[in-house]
A and B are shown apart, each in its own frame.
Chain A
Amino acid sequence: MNRRKVRKFKAFWAWQDEKEEAWLRSMSQQGLHLTEPLAPIVYSFLEGEPRDLVYRLDYVQRMSGDERGRYLQLFQDSGWEHLGANGGWQYFRKPVEAGDAPEIFTDPESKVEKYKGLLAYMFILLPFFVMLVSRIGSRPPAYRALDVVIFILFLLYMYAFLRIAHRVRQLRRL
Chain B
Amino acid sequence: MAIIRDVMPAFDLLQPSTSADAQKLLEQCGDDAWVMAGGMDSFDWLKDRIKKPKVVVDLSGIDELKGIRVTGDGVEIGAMTTLTEIANHAEIRKNYGVLSQAVSLVASPQIRNQGTLGGNVSQDVRCWYYRDGWPCYRAGGNICYADTPVGRNREHAIFGADRCVAVHPSDSVPALIALDAKFVLQTPKGERTVDAEDYFVGPDMDITKINMLQPGDLLTAIRIPSTWAGSRFYFEKVRDRNVWDFPLMNVASAIMLSGNTIGRMRIAVNAVSPRPMRLKAVEDAVQGKPADATTGEMAGKMAVEGAVPLQFNAYKIPLMRNLVKRAIAGVPSQQA
The judgment on whether A and B are partners is no
